[in-house]
Structure 1
Amino acid sequence: MGSLNPTAIKRWIALEMKRLREAAGHDRTAAAERIGKATTVIAHIETSRNLPAPADLEVLLDFYGVPERAQFFRDLTKRAKRGRDWWIKFDHGVFDWFNLYLGLETGAARIRTVDLVVLPGLFQTRDYARAIMRAGRRWDSESELDTMIDLRMARQEILDRPEDAPKIWSILDESVLRRQAGGPEVMRDQLQHLVELTERPNIDIQVLPFTAGAHGASDGMFVLLDYPPEFGGDPGTVYVENRREGLYYEDKEDLIRFRNTFERLQAQAEHPGRTRDFLQKLSRELYEH
């Protein structure tokens, strides 16, 4: 659990405490009565707003029929309290709804992405990121923009973790690769960076070519996140972002829909083994004269 951070731990504790309560057949009112507190206390635990107090944790786990898990949960809550999310130094410029995503991405064991408009942040070069972010919104200062670019580059450090780097599978629409964000030189360097990423054993990239025709994925992007075995029972998360907010889906039916869409796109896209050749050919076609 070395890569897991306080945000990811709090989320898992919340999900698991809710799952255990429901499996035991209790509602929030009954759980709150057992610890002698307001129902809002249980709600705050189950939405990851607050960590459970040690004494409440003991009583609740016994009430849910799993007293043997108390030590494990105590250790996790201590770790969440001691830990510090790495992006805290960038926090003044991060949207509240994105904080959770940063925690989940850092703690994920597998990340699958579909991107139809721009490249995923984990793959962007600095110059490409600058072009995309400058076009996406009005910044109060160049310093603010630089800070957010630094954050995006810092996120990519998970790709270099020596022991538990996540497995990445990315599906990119061909239009993303042809759109000259930042101009020809920026895109040439960006395509070369993608070629280098295809050489990593933990990264698979597929291009969804124009010739694939209609694909039925109307969202501009979505990310499927799966977590390490230590977080047993975690259903995973789908993250979808638009201009106003980030949306998180964790219901079973929603997860199935997005996973099915991903699998359909996998079948339509170029095989990962041919991605490198596709990217190199595209780079020569567009940017070499």
Structure 2
Amino acid sequence: MQDTGSTLPRRQLGRYLMDWRTRAGLSQPQAAELLGIGSSSLYRLEHGQNGKVNLSHVEAACELYDVPEVHVAAFVGLAKQANVLSWWHEFGDLIPETFDVYMGLEAAAQRFISYHVELVPGILQTADYTRALVREGHPEESPAEHERRVQMRQYRQMIVTRKRRPVTVDVVLQESLLRRIIGNAKVTGVQLKRLADVSTRPNVTVHILPHDAGIPGGHGTGQFTILEFGTSRPGKPSEPPVVYVPAYTGDMYLEKPKDVHRYHQVYKAFQDASLDAVDSRGLLRQVAKEFLT
């Protein structure tokens, strides 16, 4: 069968199922036997290699691994999305709005390339910066729910600071972002100082695109992130890269090579027009000091 659908939902579904199987303490052969399917079939399911996902296998695996109902609905939704050429996290009744598809992709990535206009990327935010955004964005929630969101974002940052194979981070930030007060001046100043400090890590590079750079390459664009997943052998990616474009009414995930290439091109234009890493760090410390004094 020719595979014409998106591989992204299948790969993401496979990652989640493998994670829940591991939590259940089952090896792949053990789980396959209990599910009544071949070990090779379960392998293909967990690695997103099926041309069409068998929904009954997904549902049976969720039952075997004792997956919570809200996640079962999300996993089934991912399975149904597997034959869609381009897909958005609007999803309607397919995937619950509360299920964060992006987080799973980010956790699996080996390289994080991102451009930001308004806000510091989540994996580099301080707890107080995140807390200010959460309170503003979810005023109807309780303080306990706010803290859960803050803790979840802080947990995500482990991919940057872990000792074994930390993710490579390469970000370009618009200079105007540095002047935007989030929470209050102190919260913003501490956040900028944190950015400067973390940019000294060998796996993190931060560039500031100054006001006078105009629109490099002539293409204006909002925030986007390119996620890369490493290579299985020289020159061959283990999984195709994904471009994530967040939006207020529904996030977009792009995986067609020509789309990914275009975002790489515009990112390079922004990067080439930015201050170098040392000058960017100096500017971050300078503006942080202005807010903190």
What TM-score, normalized by structure 1, do the two folds share? 0.68
Cα RMSD for the two superposed structures: 3.4
Asked whether 1:234 is paired with 2:239, we answer: yes
2:22 corresponding residue in structure 1:
none
Q: Give the AA of the match of 2:2.
A: D
Superposed counterparts of 1:1-289, under 5 Å: 26-27=1-2, 47-48=9-10, 54-55=37-38, 57=40, 73=44, 96=97, 99-215=100-216, 216=218, 218-230=220-232, 232=237, 234-288=239-293
Structure 1 gaps of 5+ residues are 1-25, 29-41, 59-69, 83-87
Q: Give the AA of the match of 2:262.
A: R
Q: Does structure 2 retain, via aligned residues, the 8 Å contact 1:222–1:241?
A: yes
Measured against aligned partners, the alpha-carbon deviations of 1:186-231 in whole angstroms (never above 9, x if no partner) come to: 1111111111101100000001111212344543310000002238
Tell me the matched-pair count: 228
Structure 2 gaps of 5+ residues are 18-31, 49-57, 63-67, 72-94
Report the Cα offset of residue 157 of structure 1.
Answer: 0.9
What is the SS of the residue equivalent to 2:240? coil
- Quote the Cα distance in structure 2 between the aligned partners of 1:239 and 1:162: 26
Residue identity over aligned pairs, in percent, reads 26
Q: Give the AA of the match of 1:125.
A: T
Measured against aligned partners, the alpha-carbon deviations of 1:146-185 in whole angstroms (never above 9, x if no partner) come to: 1111111110011122121010001011111111111111
What is the SS of the residue equivalent to 2:231? coil
Q: Give the AA of the match of 1:258.
A: Y
Q: Does structure 1 retain, via aligned residues, the 8 Å contact 2:223–2:245?
A: yes
Q: Give the AA of the match of 1:244.
A: T
1:31 corresponding residue in structure 2:
none
- Quote the Cα distance in structure 1 between the aligned partners of 2:125 and 2:2: 46
What is the SS of the residue equivalent to 2:165? coil
1:13 corresponding residue in structure 2:
none
Q: Does structure 1 retain, via aligned residues, the 8 Å contact 2:114–2:224?
A: yes
After the TM superposition, list the runs of 4 or more consecutive aligned residues in structure 1 that deviate by more than 4 angstroms. 42-47, 49-54, 72-77, 94-98
- Quote the Cα distance in structure 1 between the aligned partners of 2:101 and 2:253: 9
Q: Does structure 2 retain, via aligned residues, the 8 Å contact 1:116–1:221?
A: yes
Measured against aligned partners, the alpha-carbon deviations of 1:31-74 in whole angstroms (never above 9, x if no partner) come to: xxxxxxxxxxx97998426789854956xxxxxxxxxxx9x758
Residues 1:170 and 1:97: Cα distance change in structure 2 (over 3 Å): farther
- Quote the Cα distance in structure 1 between the aligned partners of 2:6 and 2:202: 41
Q: Does structure 1 retain, via aligned residues, the 8 Å contact 2:230–2:238?
A: no
- Quote the Cα distance in structure 1 between the aligned partners of 2:5 and 2:96: 23
Residues 1:108 and 1:210: Cα distance change in structure 2 (over 3 Å): same
